[in-house]
Amino acid sequence: MPKSKQLILVFVVIIVLIISLKTGLFRINDVSDRIKQEDIVILDTLLFESGDVLMRHGDSFISDYIAKSFPESHSMSHCGILVQDEGVWKVIHSISGQISGVDGIRIEKANSFMANASNNNVILVKPKFHIDKQLISQLAWKYLKLKPEFDHAFNLNDRSKLYCSELVRAVYLEAGTKDIFIYKTIAGKKIIDFKSFFSDQYWSY
């Protein structure tokens, strides 16, 4: 075989090897990302109880904006209610379709919920006041079945649509809790302030 053809053949083999290696690495990284997403444990799940509130600072610029809007909220931007589903800890929560592609309430594994936090910024919040946590869990499941959309109007008087902390508030109020939530007016709208969950009088974290 002429030397020029040998060189061309070697060059082609090298290119194929590089492409194969890169493709393989991408696949390994994809699998690794999925494993990390499912298996990451930021909080000790032995501390979890049905009805607890799980909070996080999400990994989007919108999460950063929300956290800055509530400066006394320990940089939290999102929350949901912990429930158990066949022995697996999950979170019932509501997200805008503008962020997640699916609008409104959904359920997700707690580990996945925590994995979507920026820099593992997650806080477990527990009520100090007496409340039937099993009832909280049942009500959270009830709202999940009702499938309310995300409340883009931020209307606290309408439970047919709910944003994340509005869902927590609706469940706790329906379970018999007095209105212990703190409110803030933003752009003329009465919004639940995330600092509600950091009142030492009502919550531990």
Does the pLDDT at position 82 exceed 90? Answer: yes
Q: How far apart are CA 143 and CA 27, in angstroms?
A: 38
pLDDT at 99: 82
Tell me the average pLDDT across 36-65: 83
Q: How far apart are CA 31 and CA 153, in angstroms?
A: 39
- Do 69 and 4 lie in a common domain? no
Instruction: Give tens-digit pLDDT for 60-73.
Output: 889 999 999 999 99
- Do 26 and 125 lie in a common domain? no
Instruction: Give tens-digit pLDDT for 183-193.
Output: 999 999 999 99
- Do 164 and 194 lie in a common domain? yes
23: containing domain: 1-39
The model's pTM is: 0.79
147: left (phi over 0), alpha (psi -120 to 50) or beta: left
pLDDT at 30: 42
pLDDT at 2: 52
Does the pLDDT at position 20 exceed 70? Answer: no
How large a percentage of the chain has pLDDT more than 70? 80
Q: Report which DSSP code applies to 195.
A: G
Tell me the average pLDDT across 119-127: 96
Buried b (16+ CB within 10 A) or exposed e, 142-167: ebbeeebebbeebebeebebbbbbbb
- Do 7 and 30 lie in a common domain? yes
Name the domain count of the chain.
2
- Do 111 and 132 lie in a common domain? yes
pLDDT category at 37 given cuts 50, 70, 90 is very low
Instruction: Give tens-digit pLDDT for 131-182.
Output: 999 999 999 999 999 999 999 999 999 999 999 999 999 999 999 999 999 9
Q: How far apart are CA 115 and CA 72, in angstroms?
A: 23
83: left (phi over 0), alpha (psi -120 to 50) or beta: beta
Residue with token string 């809007």 = 69
- Do 30 and 100 lie in a common domain? no
Report CA 124 to chain centroid distance, whole Å. Answer: 12
* CATH number of the domain within which 192 lies: 3.90.1720.10
pLDDT category at 25 given cuts 50, 70, 90 is very low
- Do 96 and 79 lie in a common domain? yes
Does the pLDDT at position 194 exceed 90? Answer: yes
Q: Name the average pLDDT for the chain.
A: 84
Does the pLDDT at position 16 exceed 90? Answer: no
Tell me the average pLDDT across 97-106: 90
